[in-house]
Amino acid sequence: MSQVEAATPRSSWIAGPHRLSGTAAVVAVAVLASAALVVRDGSNDGLLLAVTILNGLSSAGLYFLVASGFTLIFGLLRVTNLAHGSFYLAGGYIGWTLRDATGSWLLALVGAALAVAAMGLLFQLLLLRRVDGDPIRESLLTIGLSVVVADLTLSIWGGSSLDIGAPALLDSTFTVNGLVYSEYRLALLGLAILVGAALYVLLKCTRLGMTIRAGVDDPVILATTGVNVPVMLSLVFGLGAFLAGLGGVAGGSYLSISQGEDARYLLVSLLVVIVGGLGSVTGAAAGALLVGLVESFAQVHLPTYSVLVTFGVMIVVLAFRPQGLLGASR
């Protein structure tokens, strides 16, 4: 059975015709739809448009931070990590405790992300590995983990939502031409770009990245070349958890952290990677942009059904490009 799997190209995640191959077409449709909403609203308010786009971009930044970890784990381990939202939650809570204890935001960010990475690594080594090669049971284990994490975080940090707070340096607004916007949210977008760039360099320009990419394409052949695949898998799982933990602190610093955020960010990750294309970091970036922008426009123009609109985007994308915007179409 594993031979069948290994011999099958990755595109067989989706069996079916690829009717439309234009990524651009889908993006254009989305942008046009948003534009139509603006026109329909009759609002020519440039400031509103600017703020909406900025909100979309900063949300996209946060979504990318979280979803890139999800897509990395999927791409290499073929594990649908349904505990990814729990990593976000744990990251946020640990970050809050660290910020509360030390006062340093940077320490909270790095410390929490590392702690979550360790947690993920441990989970992968102790549990996931035992059902290696069986993606469904691996996903089921991650669900079990998410149930446990939700209950334990509730008993440790309680039910109230906790605000980590933005770093003092960024805790104000800037004004350009009457446009008022939060510095922190813009910085968050910067952080996402930074992380994206680092991931790109890691994957494209380092030996580890090369190995990871080889592992995504064909783990069996990779193993025959002498690479210690199990160690690499653990490392990537840890990296994915690290990114989720990072997202938890980054998000919890301006949106606060509370019970229920785990399901929310798991869902965001799913949307982003399904829209963007599974296993691809650039796909995650494209998916995050689309989801973030559509969500922010929908909240302005169709507030009651904004959540449904983002799902609608997913369904439209799937109908035309089952492999996602930038999914492999080999």
Partner 1 sequence: MTTMSSGLMGRSRLEVLEGRWRLVLFVVVAGFLLVAPFVLTPFFFVQILIRSLWLGTVAVSLTFLIRYAGMISLAQTGIYGVAAYVTANLSVTRGVEPWTSACAGITVAVVLAVMVGALAARARGVYFLMLTLAVGVFLYYFALQYRPFTFGFSGINGVAVPSLGSIQLSDPRNFYYAALVAAAVCLLGLSAYSRSPLGLALQADRDCPERARALGMEPLVVRVVGFAVAGVVAAIGGVLSVWFNGQVSPGSLDVTRTIDVLVIAVLGGVARLEGAWLGALLLSVLTVYVSDLTDYYTTVIGLVFIGVVLASPNGVPGAAASAISALRRLVPRAPAHGSVPPTQQEKPS
Partner 2 sequence: MTRSRTTRSVVLSLAVLSTLAAAGCGSSSDDPGSPTGGGIAGSAQKDSGAATDGVIKIGLLSTLDGAYAALGQSANQGAKVALVNAGATLDGTGDRDGITGLSIGGQDVELVIESSDATPDAALAATRQLVEKDAVDILVGPLSGDEGLAVKEYARQHPEVTFVNGTSGAQDTTLRDPAPNFFRFTTDGAQWMAGLGAYAADDLGYDKVVTIGEDYSFPYDQVGGFMAPFCADGGTVPDKIWVPLGTKDFSSYIATIPSDVDALFVALGGADVLNFTKQLDESPLAGTPILGGSISVDGSVIEGLGDRAEGIISAGPVAALDTPEYRAYADTLAATFPDAPPPGLFDVGYYIEMTATLDALDEVEGVLDDGHEALNAALTSLQLETPVGPVELDENRQAIANNYLFEVRGGSSELIETVPEVNQTLGLDRDEYIAQPANDRDNPSCP
The answer to whether 33 touches 313, Cβ cutoff 8 Å, is no
Q: How far apart are CA 79 and CA 71, in angstroms?
A: 9
Q: How many other CB atoms sit within 10 Å of the CB of residue 167?
A: 17
Residues paired with 181 in a beta bridge:
174
Q: How far apart are CA 174 and CA 187, in angstroms?
A: 12
Applying CB under 8 A, the site for partner 2 has a residue count of 34
The yes or no reply on residue 200 touching partner 2 (CB under 8 A) is: no
The answer to whether 191 touches 197, Cβ cutoff 8 Å, is no
The yes or no reply on residue 16 touching partner 2 (CB under 8 A) is: no
- Interior CA angle at 155 toward 150 and 160, to 5°? 85
Residues 202-231 binding partner 2 (CB under 8 A) are none
The answer to whether 85 touches 263, Cβ cutoff 8 Å, is yes
CB 77 to partner 1: min, Å: 11
Q: How far apart are CA 267 and CA 261, in angstroms?
A: 10
CB 172 to partner 2: min, Å: 8
**Secondary structure class of 173 (helix, strand, coil):** strand
The answer to whether 86 touches 262, Cβ cutoff 8 Å, is yes
- Candidates 91-99, 184-192, 245-253, 266-274; binding stretch for partner 1 (CB under 8 A): 266-274
- From candidates 33, 140, 179, 202, binder to partner 1 by CB under 8 A: 140
Q: Which does 1 bind (CB under 5 to 8 A by kind): partner 1, partner 2, none?
A: partner 1
The yes or no reply on residue 161 touching partner 2 (CB under 8 A) is: yes
The yes or no reply on residue 311 touching partner 1 (CB under 8 A) is: yes
The binding site for partner 2 (CB under 8 A) comprises 47-48, 51-52, 55, 59, 154, 158-161, 163, 173, 178, 180-182, 185, 254-256, 258-261, 264, 295-296, 299-300, 303-304, 306-307
The binding site for partner 1 (CB under 8 A) comprises 1, 4-5, 8, 12-16, 74, 78-80, 82, 127, 130-131, 134-137, 139-141, 143-148, 150-152, 155, 263, 267, 270-271, 273-274, 278, 304-305, 307-308, 311, 314-315, 318-319, 322
